[in-house]
Chain A
Amino acid sequence: MISIQQEDFDLAAEYQALRADAPNIGAIVTFTGLVRDFNLVESAPENTSVQGLFLEHYPGMTEKSLAAIIDTAKTRWSIINTRVVHRIGAMHPGDQIVFVGVNSAHRGDAFAACEFIMDYLKTQAPFWKKELTNEGERWVESRATDQQAAERWKAD
């Protein structure tokens, strides 16, 4: 399941949906990303605080790229089902922004696949963040550390 939506999501409902595959599964791993209030822009002045975020995406390609990432995860690990929810539009610090949930027979596959999907989502899926700070609006720069996080999956 892939959902790109403006509205918030319910972690308990997402978990229950993954649990519906029981007793064929022995593990559920979930990741939830939240909007931070400290600046993500590395070049920003020290005391810039983030008041809000606007998330833009490329409708169509977003769903397609997430489906491709999930397909790759399914070929690498023995996982049963995945749920990815990404919010778009206006958000505030503390808001939930992204959810990735994976279920599988064993925890190892679920842990690895969940992290892989998140690492690739950050570097491949066409989303862009614009921060609204006390000093105005700025597009968030991509981070080398995110690129490195995705790269390390190529090594195994």
Chain B
Amino acid sequence: MIKILYFARLRDSLNCGEEQLEYSAAIDTGKKLLRTLKNRGAPWQDALENVQLLMSVNQTMSSPDASIQDGDEVAFFPPVTGG
């Protein structure tokens, strides 16, 4: 299983803050995971397509090419606006 977290505007448009997904080769990189999520159709397709998206793996900022292992914590979120 992997844990996926969504934050801020993205969480609002998906109406989902956290979920668990069965780990498989189909989601072993950030890009593949995104494709799997977008394939769910509305609202996933639009929400993940239209916003500028950042990704972290195990709480470290990562590129979409980063590999994902079983047990990882992955998060998707819009550009940060703290400070």
Contact = CB atoms under 8 A, between A and B. Distances in A.
A56 interface: yes
Nearest to A87: B82
Nearest to B83: A122
Contacts of B81: 122, 127-129, 139-142
B83 A121 contact: yes
A142 B58 CA distance: 23
A33 interface: yes
Contact of B61 (A65, A118, A129, A140): A65
Interface in A113-154: 118, 121-130, 139-142, 146
A2 interface: no
A128 B8 contact: yes
B68 interface: no
A33 B83 CA distance: 7
A61 interface: yes
Interface string B46-83: 00000010001001110000000000000101111111
A77 B59 CA distance: 26
A127 B80 contact: yes
Given A58-B7, A58-B75, A128-B7, A142 B80 contact: yes
Given A61-B59, A64-B60, A56 B80 contact: no
A127 B82 contact: yes
A127 to B, nearest CB: 3
B78 A139 contact: yes
Given A65-B61, A118-B83, A126-B56, A56 B78 contact: no
Interface of B: 5, 7-9, 12, 52, 56, 59-61, 75, 77-83
18 contacts: A58-B7, A58-B59, A64-B59, A97-B83, A121-B82, A122-B81, A123-B79, A123-B80, A124-B80, A126-B56, A126-B75, A127-B80, A127-B83, A128-B9, A128-B77, A128-B78, A141-B79, A141-B81
